Structure 1
Amino acid sequence: MKTTLVTLLAAVLCVEQAYPFMCYVCQEQESNKNCLTISICAEKDKYCVTVRNNIGTKPNKPKYVISKMCSPTCPATSQQQNQTSRSVSCCEKPLCNVNGVSSKQSRYGVMSLGVLTAIAYIFACGL
C-alpha cells in the first residue's frame, strides 16, 4: 500500500500537467492574508499573476492593494501614473503566487504543502 502511494506521488510530481493549473486569486485586498483563495485556472492560462497597486495618500505611509489571478500572458511589469504605481509579478508554476514573489523557495514550499495535504487526505480517507 505504501509503495503504491509513493509511486503515485512520484508520478504526480514528475508529470506537471497531470493536474489542473491553479493560482491564488483575489481582488484589491489590503493584505496578502486575504489573498489565499485557490482557483483552478482556464486551460489557456499559463501564469499566476500578482498585481500590487500603491494607492497611498502619504509618502511615508504608502497604502497597497493586492490582486491575484490566472492569466494566459504576463502583463506589463510596472506602470506609474501620478501618485500611484503598479507592480506586477508573474510565475508559471501552480500556486506560485502565494506571496507575489516567484522564487524557487516559495515554489518548493507551496509544492511541499500541497503534497503533504494530499498525503494527509489519502490517509484520512483510508485509501
Structure 2
Amino acid sequence: MKTTLVTLLAAVLCVEQAHPLMCYVCEEQESNDDCMTISMCAEKDNYCLTVRNTVGTKPNKLKYVISKMCSPTCPDRSHQENQTYQSIYCCEKALCNVNGVSSKQSSYGVMLLGVLASITYTSAHGL
C-alpha cells in the first residue's frame, strides 16, 4: 500500500508539468498581502515573475511597489532608472512567486518537504 501511495504521489508531481502554469498576479501593490490572487497562465508562459520597484529620493522615504505576473520569458534581473530601482524575480513552478524571492531551489525544497511529509504520515498511520 505504501508503494502505491508513493507511486501515485510521484505521478501527480509529474503530471503538474503537463498543465499550464499557475502564478500569483497583481499590479502595483504596496504590500505583498495584496498580491495573492491566483491566475492560470497561458500555455506559452513558462515563468512566474515578481517585479519590485523601489522608488524614492531619500533612503528613509522609500516606497515599494510590487507586481506579479505570468511571463513567457525571464527578463533581466534588475535595473535602475532615475529614482527607481527595479528588481525582478523569476521562477518556474506553480505558485512559486508567493513571496517574490522564490527560486528553483526553494520550489524543489517545498516539493521535497511535501513528499517527506506524505511518507511520514503514511508510515505513522500504517497505510
Q: TM-score range by the shorter chain?
A: 0.7 to 0.9
The structure that has the greater radius of gyration is 2
Structure 2, unmatched stretches of 5+, are: 118-127
**Counterparts of 1:5-16 in structure 2 under 5 Å?**
7-16=7-16
* Alignment partners' CA distance in 1, 2:108 and 2:24: 13
TM-superposition CA deviations, 1:5-51 (whole Å, max 9, x none): 76543311133323331111000000111111110000000011110
Which residue of 2 is the match for residue 120 of structure 1? Answer: none
Structure 1, unmatched stretches of 5+, are: 117-127
Identity across matched positions, percent: 73
**Counterparts of 1:1-127 in structure 2 under 5 Å?**
7-103=7-103, 104-105=105-106, 108-109=109-110
* Alignment partners' CA distance in 2, 1:100 and 1:110: 18
* Alignment partners' CA distance in 2, 1:41 and 1:9: 24
SS of the aligned residue for 2:61 comes to coil
SS of the aligned residue for 1:60 comes to helix
CA RMSD of the aligned region, Å? 2.6
Instruction: Normalising by structure 2, report the TM-score.
Output: 0.74
Kept in 2, the 8 Å contact 1:95–1:110? The answer is no
Q: CA deviation at 1:105?
A: 3.1
* Alignment partners' CA distance in 2, 1:44 and 1:99: 23
State the one-letter code of the partner of 2:70. C
Change (3 A) 1:19 1:3: farther
TM-superposition CA deviations, 1:57-99 (whole Å, max 9, x none): 5322311100000000111221211111111111111111111
Which residue of 1 is the match for residue 123 of structure 2? Answer: none
Give the number of equivalent residue pairs: 114
Instruction: Normalising by structure 1, report the TM-score.
Output: 0.74
Change (3 A) 1:105 1:77: closer
* Alignment partners' CA distance in 2, 1:111 and 1:22: 19
* Alignment partners' CA distance in 1, 2:91 and 2:7: 28
Kept in 1, the 8 Å contact 2:93–2:107? The answer is no
